[in-house]
Amino acid sequence: MLTFLSTCEIRKTGILQLNKGIPYLTKQDFLEVLPEEGACFEIIHNGKSLAFGYSGRSQKNDVCVIDKPLSGEFLKKKLQQALEKRKKIFPKFPEAYRLIHSEADGVPGIHIEIFNDYAVITNFNHGIEHYQNDLIAALRISLPHLNGMYAKDRTPTPKKPETTVIYGEPAPENLIINENGGRFIVRLNSGLMTGLFLDQRANRAWLKTMCKGKSICNTFSYTASLSIACAMGGARETTSVDISKTYNDWAKENFVLNSLDLKKNHIITNDTFDHFQFCQRKNIRYDMIILDPPTFAKKKTGTFSVNKNYEELIKESIPLLNPHGVLVCSTNYTQWSGQDFLSMLNGMFKSLRKHYTIVHKAHADKDFPILVNYPESNHLKFIAIQIR
Ligand SMILES: C[S@@+](CC[C@H](N)C(=O)[O-])C[C@H]1O[C@@H](n2cnc3c(N)ncnc32)[C@H](O)[C@@H]1O
């Protein structure tokens, strides 16, 4: 742990950021050279203390802003506060939840997720890694039942393996998470993704109530957790489409784990756009199509980016909907606010001269708090629409 607390004089640009409540600054926001990665310092202007920060370079920023000096005590307090917050919002505590949602829980630079008896700490800069032992100690105090802890490295220049066990024992290869009557296989020992996106928990619950008797196409389906929710809710059939055979094998295991019939729950390894063309050719239609693409992806031909190609995705899915069909549009593209996403939909439907009604509009579940004034913390947009 680095203990030396120096000061750094901030420029007006940085003060503007701080006044807006944005907890990230760049080196250009300071008049002085920043302390070494991981060092915590006082942010000052004309001798007056404005906040604290630590040097933590990510893709866009160099400093994470915090309200007190970064130390073991600080982390212990933030963990306790985050845990208390979640105890209040969940009448029944989920088996898997996000405990620290970065800046929205006062610790910019990390996410911490709990999966039963295991914690997964995702680092977004190397600075916060200097406090790993403090974090382990704080987690052991807040959650004494933990058997193991992982660090996952999402830093701009990875120095370590993607996944490292930093405390206790590794989790079983297949860790089972129970959620709202469904069972999901989570794998913590490799890769940055665990198999279950916790931010979609409430949206899975909503889908479960919406699907009775319906045919569903879940595109970019990953381990098919959204399809499982639909199937558990009584969908007549589901089709999960993902380009990755590895994730589709995992999805199949999830269906089997939930005793769901694979004859009614199809898993297709294909590019979503190619699947849509196949459906056009074969006259296949669905009552609901779920679109939840990654921000950037490879297609069989070229690349896909949410920013450039989401409209195209919607346009290609509309003809595949049965009358009164529902289109579920979801994205975690952080550069779009909820309003930007709606504006994109409005503009697109206007140009198509079509009208739609919003059936459901949601964001991430409650354990993903939102920092007002920092739209990036409201990463997930989930809108279900019916085209008239
Ligand atoms: C962010 S995950 C989707 C999460 C999923 N909706 C869920 O809630 O669990 C993105 C998935 O898209 C898949 N993918 C990427 N490009 C694709 C493409 N062109 N067609 C189909 N799937 C694709 C990836 O393999 C990955 O499983």
User: What's the pLDDT tens digit per position in 11-38?
Assistant: 999 999 999 999 999 999 999 999 999 9
Closest residue to atom 4 of ligand 1, CA basis: 222
Is 111 a member of any domain? yes
- Does one domain contain both 211 and 356? yes
- Does one domain contain both 162 and 229? no
Is 320 a member of any domain? yes
Indicate the range of 148-152, 157-161, 163-167, 324-328 predicted with least confidence.
157-161
- Does one domain contain both 160 and 230? no
- Does one domain contain both 316 and 225? yes
Q: Residue 61 has what pLDDT?
A: 96
- Does one domain contain both 248 and 382? yes
Non-local (6+) Cβ contacts of 329 within 8 A are: 291, 310, 314, 341, 345, 381, 382, 383, 384, 385
Phi/psi of residue 151, nearest 5 degrees? -115, 135
Confidence of residue 1 (pLDDT cuts 50, 70, 90): very low
Q: Are 215 and 287 in contact (CB under 8 A)?
A: yes
- Residue to mutate (ligand 1; options 207, 220, 254, 276; most atoms within 8 A of CB): 220
Q: How far is the CA of 245 from the centre of ligand 1 (A)?
A: 11
Residue 147, domain CATH: 3.30.750.80
Q: Residue 372 has what pLDDT?
A: 86
Is 148 a member of any domain? yes
Q: Pick the atom of ligand 1 nearest to 223's CA.
A: 9
- Residue to mutate (ligand 1; options 227, 243, 317, 380; most atoms within 8 A of CB): 243
Residue range(s) defining the domain that contains residue 220: 197-387
Query: Is a pLDDT exceeding 50 seen at residue 78?
Result: yes
Average pLDDT over residues 103-121: 98
Query: Is a pLDDT exceeding 90 seen at residue 112?
Result: yes
- Does one domain contain both 261 and 128? no
- Does one domain contain both 254 and 338? yes
- Does one domain contain both 226 and 134? no
Is 256 a member of any domain? yes
β-partners of residue 41 are 6, 53
* pLDDT, averaged across the chain: 96
Q: How far is the CA of 228 from the centre of ligand 1 (A)?
A: 15
Query: What are 274-332's pLDDT values in tens digits?
Result: 999 999 999 999 999 999 999 998 887 889 999 999 999 999 999 999 999 999 999 99
Into how many domains does the chain fold?
Answer: 3
Last residue of a domain, one of 39, 66, 93: 66
Q: Are 194 and 115 in contact (CB under 8 A)?
A: yes
Query: Is a pLDDT exceeding 70 seen at residue 179?
Result: yes
Is 278 a member of any domain? yes
Q: Residue 2 has what pLDDT?
A: 46
Q: Are 367 and 89 in contact (CB under 8 A)?
A: yes
Q: Residue 4 has what pLDDT?
A: 54
Distance between first and last Cα of the chain:
59
Tokens 């639909």 belong to which residue? 230
Which candidate, 237, 303, 242, 240, places its Cα nearest to that of 269? 242
Is 178 a member of any domain? no
- Does one domain contain both 206 and 241? yes
Q: How far is the CA of 89 from the centre of ligand 1 (A)?
A: 30
Residue 269, domain CATH: 3.40.50.150
Q: How far is the CA of 223 from the centre of ligand 1 (A)?
A: 9
Please report, for residues 69, 154, 194, 236, 270, the alpha-carbon distance to residue 61 in angstroms, rounded to integers and kept in the order given.
Answer: 19, 14, 26, 48, 37
Query: Is a pLDDT exceeding 80 seen at residue 89?
Result: yes
- Does one domain contain both 81 and 46? no
Query: Is a pLDDT exceeding 50 seen at residue 100?
Result: yes
Q: How far is the CA of 291 from the centre of ligand 1 (A)?
A: 9
CA distance 49 to 43: 6
Is 190 a member of any domain? no
| Sign of CA pseudo-dihedral 368, 374, 379, 385 | positive
Residue 34, domain CATH: 2.30.130.10
Confidence of residue 160 (pLDDT cuts 50, 70, 90): confident
Indicate the range of 87-91, 147-151, 175-179, 203-207 predicted with least confidence.
87-91
- Does one domain contain both 238 and 126? no
Q: Residue 5 has what pLDDT?
A: 79
Is 45 a member of any domain? yes
CA 307 to chain centroid, in Å, comes to 17
- Does one domain contain both 23 and 112? no
